[in-house]
Amino acid sequence: MGTNADSTPWLSLFREHPGLERCVPHVSLGEFPTPITHCASLGTALGVKGLYIKRDDWSGSQYGGNKVRKLEFLLGKALQDGAKEVLTFGFTGSNHALATAFYAREIGLRSISMFLPQPNSWNLRRNLLLGYHCGAELHEYSSRRTLALGTIYQTARHTMFSGRKPTFIPPGGSAPPGIVGIINAAFELRDQIRAGVMAKPDVVYVAVGSMGTAVGLTIGFEAAELDIRVAPVRVIDATLANAERMQTLARETVTYLRSLDPNFPTCHRAQMEYTLREGFFGAHYALYTKEGMEAVRLLREAEGIQLDGTYSGKAFAALLGDARAGNLTEKTVLFWNTFNSRDPWRTMPDVDYHRLPHRFHRYFEEPVQPLDAE
Ligand SMILES: *Cc1c(COP(=O)(O)O)cnc(C)c1O
Provide the pLDDT for residue 4: 45
Instruction: Determine the Cα–Cα distance for residues 339 and 244; give it in Å rounded to an integer.
Output: 25
Total residue length of the chain: 374
Q: Give the tens place of pLDDT for each residue, 52-81.
A: 999 999 999 999 999 999 999 999 999 999
Provide the pLDDT for residue 10: 72
Ligand 1 pocket mutation pick from 53, 54, 66, 70 by most atoms within 8 angstroms of CB: 66
- Cβ-contact 154, 124 below 8 angstroms: no
Provide the pLDDT for residue 110: 97
Provide the pLDDT for residue 9: 53
- Cβ-contact 360, 127 below 8 angstroms: no
Complete DSSP assignment for 253-271: HHHHHHHH-TTS---TGGG
Taking residues 319-339, what's their average pLDDT?
Answer: 98
Question: Is the pLDDT assigned to residue 1 strictly greater than 50?
Answer: no
User: Mean pLDDT lowest for which of 9-23, 95-109, 213-227, 308-322?
Assistant: 9-23
Atom of ligand 1 nearest to the CA of 216: 7
Question: Is the pLDDT assigned to residue 7 strictly greater than 70?
Answer: no
Who's near 366: CB < 8 A, 6+ residues apart?
Answer: 120
- The dihedral of CA 39, 42, 47, 53: what is its sign? negative
- Name the band, by pLDDT with cuts 50, 70 and 90, for residue 348: confident
Report how far ligand 1's centroid is from the alpha carbon of 210 (Å). 7
Taking residues 78-90, what's their average pLDDT?
Answer: 97
Atom of ligand 1 nearest to the CA of 171: 8
Instruction: Determine the Cα–Cα distance for residues 241 and 218; give it in Å rounded to an integer.
Output: 15
* Cβ count within 10 A of residue 65: 26
Taking residues 334-357, what's their average pLDDT?
Answer: 94
Atom of ligand 1 nearest to the CA of 210: 8
Task: Count Cα neighbours of 283 within 13 Å in the Cβ-side half-sphere.
Answer: 6
Which 3 state secondary structure label does DSSP give 307? coil
Instruction: Determine the Cα–Cα distance for residues 306 and 57; give it in Å rounded to an integer.
Output: 9
Identify any residues that bridge with 208 across adjacent strands, giving them in sequence order: 234
Q: Give the tens place of pLDDT for each residue, 166-196.
A: 999 999 999 999 999 999 999 999 999 999 9
Provide the pLDDT for residue 43: 98
The separation between CA 188 and the C-alpha centre of its own chain, rounded to angstroms, equals 16
Provide the pLDDT for residue 273: 81
Percentage of the chain beyond pLDDT 70 is: 97
Q: State the chain's mean pLDDT as an integer.
A: 95
Task: Count Cα neighbours of 180 within 13 Å in the Cβ-side half-sphere.
Answer: 28
Who's near 350: CB < 8 A, 6+ residues apart?
Answer: none
**Backbone phi, then psi, for 204, in 5-degree steps?**
-115, 125
Instruction: Determine the Cα–Cα distance for residues 337 and 351; give it in Å rounded to an integer.
Output: 29
- Name the band, by pLDDT with cuts 50, 70 and 90, for residue 290: very high
Question: Is the pLDDT assigned to residue 314 strictly greater than 80?
Answer: yes
Taking residues 221-227, what's their average pLDDT?
Answer: 97
Q: Give the tens place of pLDDT for each residue, 245-278.
A: 999 999 999 999 999 999 999 999 999 889 999 9
Ligand 1 pocket mutation pick from 123, 210, 215 by most atoms within 8 angstroms of CB: 210
Question: How many DSSP H helices and E strands does the chain contain?
Answer: 14, 9
- Name the band, by pLDDT with cuts 50, 70 and 90, for residue 347: confident
Instruction: Determine the Cα–Cα distance for residues 37 and 59; give it in Å rounded to an integer.
Output: 14
**Dihedral angle of Cα 273, 168, 138, 92, to the nearest 10 degrees:** -10
Residues with CB under 6 A from ligand 1: 65-66, 95-96, 172, 174, 207-214, 308, 311-312, 338-339
Who's near 352: CB < 8 A, 6+ residues apart?
Answer: none
Q: Whose CA is nearest to atom 8 of ligand 1?
A: 210
Provide the pLDDT for residue 374: 60
Taking residues 285-314, what's their average pLDDT?
Answer: 98
Instruction: Determine the Cα–Cα distance for residues 175 and 171; give it in Å rounded to an integer.
Output: 9
Atom of ligand 1 nearest to the CA of 207: 10
Report how far ligand 1's centroid is from the alpha carbon of 194 (Å). 27
Provide the pLDDT for residue 373: 73
Report how far ligand 1's centroid is from the alpha carbon of 127 (Å). 15
Report how far ligand 1's centroid is from the alpha carbon of 266 (Å). 25
**Backbone phi, then psi, for 209, in 5-degree steps?**
-115, -90
Report how far ligand 1's centroid is from the alpha carbon of 92 (Å). 14
Question: Is the pLDDT assigned to residue 2 strictly greater than 70?
Answer: no
The separation between CA 46 and the C-alpha centre of its own chain, rounded to angstroms, equals 27
Atom of ligand 1 nearest to the CA of 95: 15
Atom of ligand 1 nearest to the CA of 182: 7
